[in-house]
């Protein structure tokens, strides 16, 4: 009798645990659906899995392919859910122009991405908002224009590297180096030799960090930051990369201070140091922002330009007739100056 009672007691206890687990799972599923269901005003999109959303819908090794394929089903404007965050994907020049140019002020605010915020802390140009962003952006535009942005071109710096006489080569690092050196000349006031260890380390840090940030690890971190901070993975590597890059920028700023002359600014850093010195109580100019703005200028200036150029080269390799058109529309005089 005692044995039977014990068995039935164990079964009842097991069923209680099973019922509790089942109730918990159902509760979490319902809560996730209620909290994270697609907003009624959002464009259509693929069905999202509970908790993780569409993280596994996108192949992050070929994200451009996945996102393009989804337009065939849902059109040029559709929505995806990454973890707990909804996003809208735009495809096509006119739609992107409408959103980012015509309606630019309405869409100027940046999303909260934990992986980036752990490093930037809402400072700088890329991940800041409101008054801080407007003040930093206005200063950056006017300063870079003063030092020649919009008047100097990158063609000569890149063409100097093309000495392969028709042989195959990988343009990735060549273009990155050339474009990054243009940013260096504007921000640091000087360029680096391509063999310079400091410069090589800087470029490799940028490249490695951005590759990880484009991977599924970054999406998982941004979706579940509390969990991912406690789990090992490349997401910790990228933060270490950014910290080391920030230390490199801080060392360059320290060198600038040694011979800084406010009356004779040499570059963006010199102008920013002057702005810190003369700023009022409402100013957002400080050394922390200087470091993050410098980092953002490299990310936004070098990576976007070099990636655009690599895509252009890829398309011209696939469509040789575009190469011919580009070549015939471009000519250089004997002096090496661009003539049209």
**pLDDT 10s digits, 186-212:** 898 888 887 888 888 888 888 888 888
107 in a structural domain: no
Same domain, 125 and 225: yes
pLDDT band of residue 335 (cuts 50, 70, 90) is: very low
Same domain, 169 and 308: yes
Q: Is the pLDDT of residue 154 over 50?
A: no
Which residue, 50, 81, 102, sits at the end of a domain?
102
Overall domain count for the chain: 2
pLDDT band of residue 273 (cuts 50, 70, 90) is: very high
Report the Cα–Cα distance between both ends of the chain, in Å, rounded: 100
Structure token pair of residue 231: 């789990």
Same domain, 315 and 205: yes
Which residue, 73, 102, 131, sits at the end of a domain?
102
333 in a structural domain: no
Q: Is the pLDDT of residue 90 over 90?
A: yes
pLDDT band of residue 72 (cuts 50, 70, 90) is: very high
Distance from chain centroid for Cα 151 = 26
Q: How many CA atoms lie within 13 A of 230 on its CB side?
A: 3
Range 98-121 average pLDDT: 83
14 in a structural domain: yes
Structure token pair of residue 50: 């509970």
Same domain, 93 and 153: no
Residue whose C-alpha is closest to residue 90's, from 74, 105, 106: 74
Higher-confidence position of 132 and 111: 132
Same domain, 163 and 222: yes
Residue whose C-alpha is closest to residue 222's, from 318, 118, 133, 140: 118
User: What confidence score (pLDDT) does residue 250 get?
Assistant: 93
pTM: 0.73
Same domain, 254 and 289: yes
337 in a structural domain: no
pLDDT band of residue 157 (cuts 50, 70, 90) is: very low
Same domain, 77 and 137: no
Q: Is the pLDDT of residue 61 over 50?
A: yes
Same domain, 22 and 123: no
Same domain, 40 and 126: no
Domain that holds residue 159: 114-328
User: What confidence score (pLDDT) does residue 253 get?
Assistant: 94
198 in a structural domain: yes
Q: Is the pLDDT of residue 289 over 90?
A: yes
């Amino acid at each position: 009798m005692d044995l039977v009672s014990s068995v039935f007691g164990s079964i009842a206890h097991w069923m209680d645990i099973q019922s509790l687990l089942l109730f918990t799972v159902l509760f979490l599923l319902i809560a996730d659906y209620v909290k994270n269901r697609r907003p009624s005003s959002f464009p259509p999109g693929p069905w999202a899995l509970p908790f993780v959303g569409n993280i596994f819908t996108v192949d992050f090794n070929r994200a451009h392919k996945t996102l393009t394929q989804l337009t065939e089903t849902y059109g040029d404007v559709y929505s995806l859910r990454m973890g707990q965050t909804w996003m809208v994907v735009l495809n096509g020049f006119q739609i992107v122009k409408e959103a980012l140019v015509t309606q630019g002020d309405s869409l100027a605010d940046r999303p909260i991405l934990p992986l980036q915020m752990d490093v930037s802390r809402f400072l700088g140009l890329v991940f800041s908002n409101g008054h801080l962003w407007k003040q930093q952006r206005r200063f950056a535009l006017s300063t870079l224009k003063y030092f020649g942005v919009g008047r100097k071109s990158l063609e000569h710096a890149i063409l100097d590297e093309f000495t392969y006489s028709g042989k195959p080569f990988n343009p990735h690092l060549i273009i990155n180096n050339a474009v990054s050196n243009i940013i260096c000349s504007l921000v640091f006031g000087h360029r680096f030799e391509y063999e310079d260890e400091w410069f090589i380390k800087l470029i490799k840090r940028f490249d490695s960090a951005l590759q990880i940030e484009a991977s599924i690890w970054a999406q998982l971190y941004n979706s579940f930051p509390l969990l991912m901070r406690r789990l090992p993975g490349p997401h910790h590597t990228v933060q270490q990369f950014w910290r080391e890059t920030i230390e490199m920028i801080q060392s360059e700023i320290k060198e600038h201070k040694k011979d800084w002359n406010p009356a004779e600014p040499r570059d963006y850093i010199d102008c920013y140091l002057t702005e810190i010195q003369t700023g009022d109580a409402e100013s957002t100019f400080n050394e922390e922002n200087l470091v993050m703005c410098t980092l953002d200028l490299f990310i936004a200036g070098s990576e976007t330009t070099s990636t655009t150029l690599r895509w252009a080269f890829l398309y011209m390799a696939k469509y040789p007739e575009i190469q011919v058109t580009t070549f015939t529309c471009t000519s250089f005089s004997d002096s090496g100056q661009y003539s049209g």
